[in-house]
Structure 1
């Protein structure tokens, strides 16, 4: 018999609502909420520690719950919640009636260990929009890059909108955060070539050899890369535009360049 919570006014439910809404609380407690069977499964496969499962039995399929239960360590607390409680905590109503509370990982650069000598890294400087960050993480997962670095992060990676827009790829990708200076130092220390997407002093992206240890750096659509990056890159690269505008969505640009690097590496 599982513990049950039926009232949206329950103190634990109120804490979870705050956890969903407030980045400061997520950072203070190093915990966050995951919605959806697929996302929770990806987090477990990515060695994230789940502390609590909350299940709305009026929504979740019994087979799905049993499958998930078989993946959970014995110490995970399972709580049955009412539909009113579920709707109070959940960001969306299409996540199979299942929620989890998880612990965040240490995203420091010094925790990064590459599995090969020629890693391919995608770096985003100061991204703010959760949708863009999620799309970058989906690109990284699809391409199988070795790591994603977020320089000067403006949004915490366990924001529920990033988890949602990344469709759980925040859990499948090796991620580190740091200042631009810290990441540049890391890349130099590890002899990783730096190619920054920029409009000026650039060569076309497909002319670069990406087979060596490589970092592809993208900035925001509004301001591009900072001078600190532009002054330290091995070379700046550009995607030639054939129409009236001079830039694309950052995640689209990143995908084009990353998949060119993958194409070259597969030759």
Structure 2
């Protein structure tokens, strides 16, 4: 088994770059995953583990052998090296380099004729994207789509804030134009969460093929979505503010759709 004890090792430097820079992740086709649960979820979703690095003062080799696919390279690292490559304040002693997947729209497959899809346009904050992924997983949505992404899907903060739900969801990214075209091609009704020309969300029928679309709190949805929607919908505010966090809003909307479908 390989061992790394120097923080100046080339692989250690590469891992730091993979964590920090989207262009390096895209160039290498790799991203960093930290923690047993997240690595297990990646494996269960058929992601390929390239390399596992672990600090055996924090995690046993037996646990590592049970965690990874046989093709992965296993590397034991020193405490100093692990502290260099870890990005969590509390950690489990294991980090994986994982191969990226194709996240284009043409990779999507639906097991039903009436899929329920959550779409987010131009989300910027990794924490919000992670929360949206958790929401989509909690509702067992058929897909989570990101229109006009501002960051790549494998940002370590998205993986961390999604608690691995970036792996449990069927995820695709594309432009607003391309995603609208995709939804229209498959006769999926679009419900856009926006103030303009909207109806109260609970008055609509989401039992057919449905895409619920949310935008950012700052700018909302683009006009393209408002024009493409079967119906614009709104969550009526009861207090002093006129909006709520995007993941909270998405949760309310998608679970109304699940309620109408009797949580099937």
Specify the TM-score bucket, using the shorter chain as the normaliser: over 0.9
Map of 1:23 onto structure 2: 22
Number of equivalent positions: 263
Superposed, 1:26-45 pairs within 5 Å as 26-45=25-44
TM-score (norm 1): 0.96
Map of 2:56 onto structure 1: 57
- The structural deviation recorded for 1:29 is 1.1
1:67, 1:212 → 2: CA distance?
45
- The structural deviation recorded for 1:128 is 0.5
- The structural deviation recorded for 1:72 is 2.5
- The structural deviation recorded for 1:11 is 1.1
Superposed, 1:1-267 pairs within 5 Å as 2-60=1-59, 62=60, 65-266=61-262
Tell me if the contact between 1:41 and 1:68 (Cα under 8 Å) persists in the aligned partners.
no
Structure 1, unaligned stretches of length 5 or more? none
TM-score (norm 2): 0.98
Tell me if the contact between 1:87 and 1:93 (Cα under 8 Å) persists in the aligned partners.
no
Tell me if the contact between 1:121 and 1:215 (Cα under 8 Å) persists in the aligned partners.
yes
Tell me if the contact between 1:37 and 1:95 (Cα under 8 Å) persists in the aligned partners.
no
Tell me if the contact between 1:218 and 1:250 (Cα under 8 Å) persists in the aligned partners.
yes
CA displacement, residues 183-225 of structure 1 (integer Å, 9 cap, x when unaligned):
0000000000000000121000001111100000000000000
Tell me if the contact between 2:52 and 2:68 (Cα under 8 Å) persists in the aligned partners.
no
Structure 2, unaligned stretches of length 5 or more? none
- Deviation beyond 3 Å, 4+ runs, structure 1: none
Tell me if the contact between 2:39 and 2:67 (Cα under 8 Å) persists in the aligned partners.
no
2:70, 2:159 → 1: CA distance?
25
- The structural deviation recorded for 1:227 is 0.5
- The structural deviation recorded for 1:232 is 0.8
- The structural deviation recorded for 1:59 is 1.2
* 3-state secondary structure, aligned to 1:85: helix
Tell me if the contact between 2:118 and 2:144 (Cα under 8 Å) persists in the aligned partners.
yes
2:121, 2:138 → 1: CA distance?
20
Tell me if the contact between 1:216 and 1:258 (Cα under 8 Å) persists in the aligned partners.
yes
* 3-state secondary structure, aligned to 1:231: helix
- The structural deviation recorded for 1:255 is 0.2
- Of 8-17 and 122-131, deviating more is 8-17
CA displacement, residues 2-46 of structure 1 (integer Å, 9 cap, x when unaligned):
210011011111111111111110011110000001000000001
1:81, 1:208 → 2: CA distance?
55
Tell me if the contact between 2:34 and 2:96 (Cα under 8 Å) persists in the aligned partners.
yes
2:133, 2:163 → 1: CA distance?
9
